Structure 1
Amino acid sequence: MPETTLVLLVAVIGSALLFDYINGFHDTANAIATCVSTRALSVRAAIIMAAGLNFVGAMISTKVASTIGKGIVDANNITQVVVLAGILGAIVWNLITWYYGLPSSSSHAIIGGLVGSVVAHAGFGALHWKGLQKIVTVLLVSPVVGAIFGFLFMVGMMWTFRNSAPYGLNKNFRKLQILSAAVMAFSHGTADAQKSMGVITMALVSYGTLATFEVPTWVKIGCAIAMALGTAAGGWRIIKTVGHDFVKLQPVHGFCVETASAGVILGAAAMGLPTSTTHVITSAILGVGLSKRMSAVNWGVAYRIVAAWVITIPASAFMSFMLYTVVTPFLGR
């Protein structure tokens, strides 16, 4: 029995790192889609920059990890099988949305996955409803804030440089956009790698390796490396959807999108609040597009993106619920 439990712990850690890797290439578009679409950077250069800064960002803080690890359910009251099923459900959903080029939220996927497996294991009463409500509220509100910030930032830029020639303006902002994309990549690492850190630490507490919820250094390094490697693997399908098909962007637009998004994400991460980088940046793109005109937005793509947002939590929860039900006869509860 101890050997089986140890094997499950190793499987949980491996799955969480795999989720982080997939998160890296699934969400690469969040940081670099706009600078690629405006040709501020080549795809190769943008991915290399994003991978490095994802790693740095992932090492900075663990506040979001604590929120994920303790805000949904008490780590002492769940098992390795619960965590494993939750991660695998999130991985399956991420791969489905990546295949179809939909920028769905990895944050929503892991939260939905954990909720589904916990409910399958112990029912709805095992959930921390107050913490879960806080997490879901932030995930729902942050895209609205991102859209507003993107719109206002773009309007402010248009007014400030209203007498400037478009060509010269975009030439200068192409250089500034590299900086804003770098900050966005850093913020992506800060926000997203911490979800896997929280899950692994939750599993370590459940196994008994840790007495209290505190993210070990090796977990931070492992998750940072996994996300950086995933980012380096790219994710062109989603880059194309976000950077090309949704709204046609010029460098000044890309700069506003990335700056507004990074501000929202870093501000939330400083307070330990998990945001979806996918939702924030796509909403900021929407806000910038609306600052030009309604027809600047490809509403068909927008509807597909919103549909993926709406169904991600229930879909990943359902998959994890079913996975838990299938594996428990073989692995136990």
Structure 2
Amino acid sequence: MAQNDFDTRHLETLDRDLGRFSNLETATAYVSRPLVAPGVALAFVLLAGLGAMVAFGDTSNTLIVVMAAIFGAYMALNIGANDVANNMGPAVGANALTMGGAIAIAAVFETAGALIAGGDVVGTISRGIIAPESIGTPAVFVWAMMAALLSSALWVNLATWIGAPVSTTHSVVGGVMGAGIAAAGFGAVNWPTMGTIAASWVVSPLLGGLIAAGFLWFIKARIIYRHDKIAAARVWVPVLVGIMAGAFTAYLALKGLSKVVKVSFGHSLLIGAVLGLVVWLVMIPVIRRQSRGLENRNKSLKVLFGIPLVVSAALLSFAHGANDVANAVGPLAAIVQASASGSLTEAVSIPLWVMLIGAFGLSFGLFLFGPKLIRMVGSQITKLNPMRAYCVALSAALTVIVASWLGLPVSSTHIAVGAIFGVGFFREWDAERRLRAAQGSVPERPRLGPEERSRRKLVRRSHVMTIAAAWIVTVPAAAALSAVLFLALRQIGG
């Protein structure tokens, strides 16, 4: 009997100890989970530095190139975490894609865009903002580009942390400008170029918002508010998908494939028009087949916009990878060129290993840190469904085309977020208009007071203010940080 009591007490003690170990393991896993993503990111950054050491070879400038590769990899991670959300956020917010599906599609198409068609705009980043010959020696130029890389990466990292989608292009431009001013004074900066970039702060979101709101008005007027919604959708959805196909074809020809084949603005529009016509004709029987048996409800219409929305997100990611990889590898490529040749006048070429750092950095940054901004862009500014998200995606392509025709530089971030604002504010205006019409037809219905009207707002004002403030301060903040970092780096480097 005594032995049995001893065994029982022993087993109870053992169970308690095992329970404590189990709780300890659970707590350790919970605490360490947030450290996984930074750990993987750190490993990627160090691997990029190691790859640069192997690729560049053993020279007197190897350490500088390794540092630049580490900063470039860090910047690429931040671009993936912040910028890619603009392409995938609307599709995820509209439930056309799951978070995992969006990350997988974006990773594939961002990498493909960067490797296949990327690098054509590197010259603007590395030489269009400041004149390299005005800076002086190649060593000073290298430190300036290094400061630009690090300052822009730090700023984008901060913006991602506070949940503000900012333009990574403007961050790099500000970084290059600040380092150039610190190195050679205000005369080194190409101020006309900076003026057009500042103008794009206003042009990008306004154009994006107006185009997105215009298409949402068209969808509501021609499909949603019709008595027979399905019949209207059979007529107009093929037209809308054809417009999207044509717009994205022209968009990719203008911005995504310029490295592979040179296409003029007129030719890109012609190619887009032809493909858009073909897609319209192909989609007529497809939409008719998809719409069979659907109920005459708004919910049924979402099915018809799902696939076009997914395709548009993939194409936006390809074009983004082709263009915005330069934000990470532009200064890095300039550093490699100056370190290898000692010349500031030669055209900047991009080694394959530099492009790989940019391409894979975009994908890793999206996978590790992107979901936060994807959720914010997709669902926290205003509520999106497939029709509204379609308007946002189409607006991104059309705005770039219109801006190219006008000769204006635009930001993909500002376009996408501006389009979401445009959709949300149009919904508010439309709801207010319909409410006034309903109140006019029913005189006894009480009118809403100011507090109730404020509660019914469809766009979260706090996000509007946060994002607008982040946009305004991006260039000066990145410039100021870059100037400080340049002075520090030059002191350290001698």
CA 1:79–1:223 in 2, change beyond 3 Å: closer, same or farther? Answer: same
User: How far does the alpha carbon of each residue in 1:241-299 deviate from its partner, in whole angstroms, 9 at most, with x for none?
Assistant: 21121111111101111121133347768999764222110001011112211532112
**Residue in 2 that maps onto 1:62:** 119
**Residue in 2 that maps onto 1:248:** 383
Match of 2:183 among 110, 121, 135: 121
Whether the 8 Å contact between 2:208 and 2:419 is mirrored in structure 1 is: yes
Whether the 8 Å contact between 2:77 and 2:365 is mirrored in structure 1 is: yes
Whether the 8 Å contact between 2:179 and 2:482 is mirrored in structure 1 is: yes
- 1:174 Cα deviation after fit: 2.3
Q: Secondary structure at the match of 1:40?
A: coil
CA 1:227–1:269 in 2, change beyond 3 Å: closer, same or farther? Answer: farther
**Residue in 2 that maps onto 1:320:** 482
Provide structure 2 residue ranges, at least 5 long, that are not aligned to the other structure.
1-57, 230-296, 430-456
**Residue in 1 that maps onto 2:318:** 186
Equivalent pairs: percent with the same residue? 27
RMSD in angstroms over aligned alpha carbons? 2.4
**2: distance between equivalents of 1:272 and 1:191?**
17
Match of 2:98 among 27, 32, 42: 42
**Residue in 1 that maps onto 2:309:** 177
Whether the 8 Å contact between 1:83 and 1:203 is mirrored in structure 2 is: yes
**2: distance between equivalents of 1:282 and 1:9?**
35
**Residue in 2 that maps onto 1:21:** 77
**1: distance between equivalents of 2:211 and 2:121?**
22
**2: distance between equivalents of 1:227 and 1:266?**
24
Amino acid at match of 1:173: F
**Residue in 2 that maps onto 1:285:** 420
TM-score (norm 2): 0.62
**Residue in 1 that maps onto 2:204:** 142
Amino acid at match of 1:171: V
CA 1:227–1:275 in 2, change beyond 3 Å: closer, same or farther? Answer: farther
- 1:112 Cα deviation after fit: 0.9
Q: Secondary structure at the match of 1:293?
A: helix
Tell which has more relative contact order, 1 or 2 (C-alpha 8 A, sep 6+).
Answer: 1
CA 1:271–1:218 in 2, change beyond 3 Å: closer, same or farther? Answer: farther
Amino acid at match of 1:150: A
**2: distance between equivalents of 1:51 and 1:272?**
30
Match of 2:86 among 30, 33, 47: 30
CA 1:199–1:79 in 2, change beyond 3 Å: closer, same or farther? Answer: same
Kindly indicate whether residue 472 of structure 2 is the aligned counterpart of residue 310 of structure 1: yes
**Residue in 2 that maps onto 1:87:** 149
Amino acid at match of 2:154: V
CA 1:306–1:149 in 2, change beyond 3 Å: closer, same or farther? Answer: same
- 1:324 Cα deviation after fit: 1.6
Whether the 8 Å contact between 1:75 and 1:206 is mirrored in structure 2 is: no
Amino acid at match of 2:64: L
Map 1:216-255; keep pairs closer than 5 Å.
216-255=351-390
Kindly indicate whether residue 214 of structure 2 is the aligned counterpart of residue 152 of structure 1: yes
User: How far does the alpha carbon of each residue in 1:209-242 deviate from its partner, in whole angstroms, 9 at most, with x for none?
Assistant: 3732333444334322221222222422222221
CA 1:284–1:173 in 2, change beyond 3 Å: closer, same or farther? Answer: same
Whether the 8 Å contact between 1:36 and 1:42 is mirrored in structure 2 is: yes
CA 1:288–1:218 in 2, change beyond 3 Å: closer, same or farther? Answer: same
**Residue in 2 that maps onto 1:260:** 395
**2: distance between equivalents of 1:248 and 1:203?**
44
Q: Secondary structure at the match of 2:121?
A: helix
Kindly indicate whether residue 166 of structure 2 is the aligned counterpart of residue 104 of structure 1: yes
Whether the 8 Å contact between 1:28 and 1:47 is mirrored in structure 2 is: no
TM-score (norm 1): 0.90
Match of 2:339 among 201, 207, 221: 207
User: How far does the alpha carbon of each residue in 1:99-150 deviate from its partner, in whole angstroms, 9 at most, with x for none?
Assistant: 1111122111111111111111111111122333334334542222111111
**Residue in 1 that maps onto 2:268:** none
Q: Secondary structure at the match of 1:330?
A: helix
- 1:89 Cα deviation after fit: 0.8
Moved more, 224-233 or 283-292: 224-233
Whether the 8 Å contact between 1:149 and 1:260 is mirrored in structure 2 is: yes
- 1:194 Cα deviation after fit: 2.0
**2: distance between equivalents of 1:233 and 1:299?**
28
Asked which structure has the greater CA Rg, the reply is 2
CA 1:46–1:271 in 2, change beyond 3 Å: closer, same or farther? Answer: farther
**Residue in 2 that maps onto 1:167:** 299
**1: distance between equivalents of 2:113 and 2:214?**
27
Whether the 8 Å contact between 1:107 and 1:274 is mirrored in structure 2 is: no
User: How far does the alpha carbon of each residue in 1:173-221 deviate from its partner, in whole angstroms, 9 at most, with x for none?
Assistant: 1232111211222222122112223222222333243732333444334
**2: distance between equivalents of 1:190 and 1:110?**
16
**1: distance between equivalents of 2:154 and 2:167?**
13
Q: Secondary structure at the match of 2:95?
A: coil
Moved more, 169-178 or 314-323: 169-178
Moved more, 187-196 or 84-93: 187-196
**1: distance between equivalents of 2:401 and 2:67?**
31
**1: distance between equivalents of 2:194 and 2:125?**
9
CA 1:178–1:281 in 2, change beyond 3 Å: closer, same or farther? Answer: same
Moved more, 76-85 or 128-137: 128-137
**2: distance between equivalents of 1:69 and 1:205?**
11
**1: distance between equivalents of 2:69 and 2:403?**
26
**1: distance between equivalents of 2:322 and 2:474?**
22
The count of corresponding residues between Structure 1 and Structure 2 is 331
Amino acid at match of 1:304: T
